[in-house]
Amino acid sequence: MQLGDFEITAVTDGHFRLDGGSMFGIVPRVLWEKKITPDDQHRIRLVVRCLLVRNGKRTVLIDAGLGNKFSDEFRDRYAVEQPVTLIENLQKAGVRPEDVTDVINCHLHFDHAGWNTIRQDGQVVPTFPNARYWSQRGEWERARDYAAQRDRASFVPDDFLPLERERWELVEGDHAVLPGMELLVLPGHTPYTQGVLLTAGEQKVAFLEDLIPTAYHVPYAWIMAFDLHAAGTLETKRKVLPRAVREKWICVFDHDPHLVAARIAEDSRGRLSVVPAEGFSDNAG
Ligand SMILES: [Zn+2]
């Protein structure tokens, strides 16, 4: 879709599966399985959705998917399906890896930073040779010290360690990447995870990533058990989502297998629901 000067394209990197209970935290299975059916290993199928944003000068990739560096064991554990990869979907949109000027890593877990790097002739090298990579400094520091983290299993060191320090734009707090493109820190899932808010006049499109990974996670209590600080997620939702309602943001979901984007509505009792946004689809299955 077009938002002022920005051409915004949803680009996916296939699907993977995560434990359904972990995806819905304290919400009982009898409630969430009415909405999404788990497989025989109790996993639910999720998409890996990134955003491509272009304005004629910059070509920005928001999130970098699962990548292709993983083992067969990893592929089985997470039931990775990549009939079309992120790189192929970028190609369909007319973007080659060397065209990408900026990669925004919302956080550095394996399903958000996978294509940061590829393996080439036995070496791990940047996938996007001309890009700078954006991260919150705190998230980058946490990732470099991944072995000490509670979420250590969610990091693949080859996604970030081989990238030299000069490639990184490390920011602290909310930050304008360019006019109309702002990084928003969204503490909860990780302490420094960040989303992206795109603005053109009154119109706004938001990529709130793992704050609301699917449309099911819009209601306040639907919070992932994966979140390092679930009460912090709630606090962030209470701060950000009423603003999204007021300003009619179109929110893009990073892991919703069915719905790409929606506006959020609030009823008289403050309960939130989604209103699917027209005209927003993935550029491939
Ligand atoms: Zn994720």
Please list all protein residues whose beta carbon sits less than 5 angstroms from ligand 1, which is an ion.
111, 210
Model pLDDT, residue 284: 58
Ligand 1 centroid – CA 210 distance (Å): 6
Cα 49 from Cα 192, distance rounded (Å): 20
Q: Are strands 168-171 and 132-136 parallel, antiparallel or unpaired?
A: parallel
In terms of phi and psi (left: phi > 0; alpha: psi -120 to 50; beta: otherwise), the region of 124 is beta
- Alpha carbon of 154 to ligand 1 centroid (Å): 9
The backbone region for 203, taken as left when phi is positive above 0, alpha when psi lies in -120 to 50, beta otherwise, is: beta
- pLDDT confidence of residue 62: 98
Given a contact cutoff of 8 angstroms between Cβ atoms, the answer to whether 196 and 104 are in contact is yes
Residue 225's DSSP bridge partners are: none
Contacts of 66 by beta carbon, 8 Å cutoff, 6+ apart: 13, 14, 16, 48, 80, 82, 86, 110, 111, 114, 115
CA dist 82 and 220 (Å) reads 32
For residue 113, report the distance from its CA to the centre of ligand 1, in Å. Answer: 10
Pairing, β 132-136 against β 102-104: parallel
Q: What CATH class is the domain 2-276?
A: alpha beta
CB within 8 A of 56, min separation 6: which ones? 5
Please report the pLDDT score of residue 22 as a whole number: 97
Span from the CA of 218 to the centroid of ligand 1 (angstroms): 15
Would you give per-residue pLDDT tens digits along the chain (285 residues)?
Answer: 999 999 999 999 999 999 999 999 999 999 999 999 999 999 999 999 999 999 999 999 999 999 999 999 999 999 999 999 999 999 999 999 999 999 999 999 999 999 999 999 999 999 999 999 999 999 999 999 999 999 999 999 999 999 999 999 999 999 999 999 999 999 999 999 999 999 999 999 999 999 999 999 999 999 999 999 999 999 999 999 999 999 999 999 999 999 999 999 999 999 999 999 987 888 754
CB 203 within 8 A of CB 4: yes
Number of residues in the chain: 285
* CB proximity list for 185: less than 8 A, separation 6 or greater: 136, 173, 174, 192, 193, 194
Distance 63 CA to ligand 1 centre (A): 10
Q: Which residues contact 90 (CB under 8 A, 6 or more apart)?
A: 11, 52, 61, 96, 97, 100
Based on the number of CB atoms within 10 Å of its own CB, is 210 exposed (0-12), middle (13-18) or buried (19 or more)?
Answer: buried
d(CA 31, CA 76): 27
**What is residue 113's predicted lDDT score, i.e. its pLDDT?**
98
- Cα–ligand 1 centroid distance for 104 (angstroms): 14
Centre of ligand 1 to C-alpha 111, Å, is: 5
**Cβ atoms of residues 117 and 133 within 8 Å:** no
Interval between CA 268 and ligand 1 midpoint (Å): 31
CB-based contact 43:79 (threshold 8 Å): yes
Provide the terminal-to-terminal Cα distance of the chain, rounded to the nearest Å.
17
Distance CA 53, CA 74 (A): 30
In Å, the largest CA–CA distance within the chain is 59
Model confidence pTM above 0.85: yes
Confirm if 195 and 183 have CB atoms less than 8 A apart: yes
